[in-house]
Amino acid sequence: MNEPTAMRSEIGQQPAALRATLDALTPRGGEAAALARDCRQVLFIARGTSDNAAVYGSYLLQAHAGMLATLASPSIATEYHSRMDLSGVLAVALSQSGATEEIVETLAWARDCGARTLAITNGGGSPLTQVADVAFVTAAGAELAVPATKTFTTQLAALAVLAIALGADLDPGLLRGVPDEIERMLAGPDDTAAIVDAMTGAAGVVVSGRGHAYAAALELALKLKEACYLHAMGLSWADLLHGPIAVVDAATPAIIVAADSGPALPGSIELARRVVAAGARAYAIGGGPGLAAVSSLAVPGPQLPEWLAPLGLIVPGQLLTEALSRRLGIDPDSPRGLSKVTQTA
């Protein structure tokens, strides 16, 4: 495949998409704050890539706004048809298209149970926006590749705007600098090539992170499943150490995703040491010189604080996935068995 794939082109469009999204949503923080006044909890409703983004939102709100946040089980609404008191809850539904019926139905259910509702979607005028009290429409533009890239990072940006609006003690000026940092990363050399070479014969992979970086680890694992057909497990390293680490061996490497600072970094470094000591390979994305020093191969992460690092950490993962997919003879734009909008019951 000589022409750039749509996935690779869309990875490169992320700085512009993030700037446009922040320009559109930052002035609307007051709407979200007014909507959530007196709310004590946030309930995130999502599937797939959007669910991984919601994990990031959950960490932001709990670590920086002191607000309880949980991920919904949509089947409670769509299959079990349970009723519950959701007064005092802000229900936030995330969907790239805004057209996934399960997510639309679950947000409507939350509204009917007394929740206030907010949608985050790239689909302006979509069914999801019609259900929500407030809609944050991202400005990712059209995304042609089935594996989501720019719609994921713009969702993370929207969640950061939401967290700040809900009282998170975070500097919005740093958020505005994220597009420039991703642009810098994309303009540099492709540091993922050596990992792509090493992973060509892998039977599977474990992708691990913790804290804010956990969302990026989950999303990278999903991308490797979608576009490379790898058996990829996304796990917090705390969960990994409780037993599943047994699957990491000479044929199954670990990719460890970490911010360059923060309370989760020492454990990430220790995990890499343990993986290498067991005769397996540990590939680092981010984590600074400390993680690189104990890993088999390493890719530098973004120069961003921990709370913003996932927006940059996922970019090398996207590049790795796209290149590995092509190396394996797969078209990353159209993986088998997938479509852009997934409908679930």
From the centroid of its chain, how far is CA 168? 19
**Nearest partner of 168 among 176, 160, 177, judged by Cα:** 160
Give the span between the Cα atoms of 324 and 327, in whole angstroms.
Answer: 5
**Half-sphere exposure for 335 (CA within 13 Å, toward CB):** 22
Give the span between the Cα atoms of 233 and 224, in whole angstroms.
Answer: 9
150 included as an active-site residue: no
Give the span between the Cα atoms of 112 and 224, in whole angstroms.
Answer: 38
From the centroid of its chain, how far is CA 86? 26
Catalytic residue among 150, 223, 225, 340: 340
Q: In the numeric block, which tokens belong to residue 109?
A: 């259910």
Q: What is the dihedral of CA 141, 142, 146, 150, to 10 degrees?
A: -10
Q: In the numeric block, which tokens belong to residue 209?
A: 């992170």
Q: Indicate which residues carry an active-site annotation.
A: 340
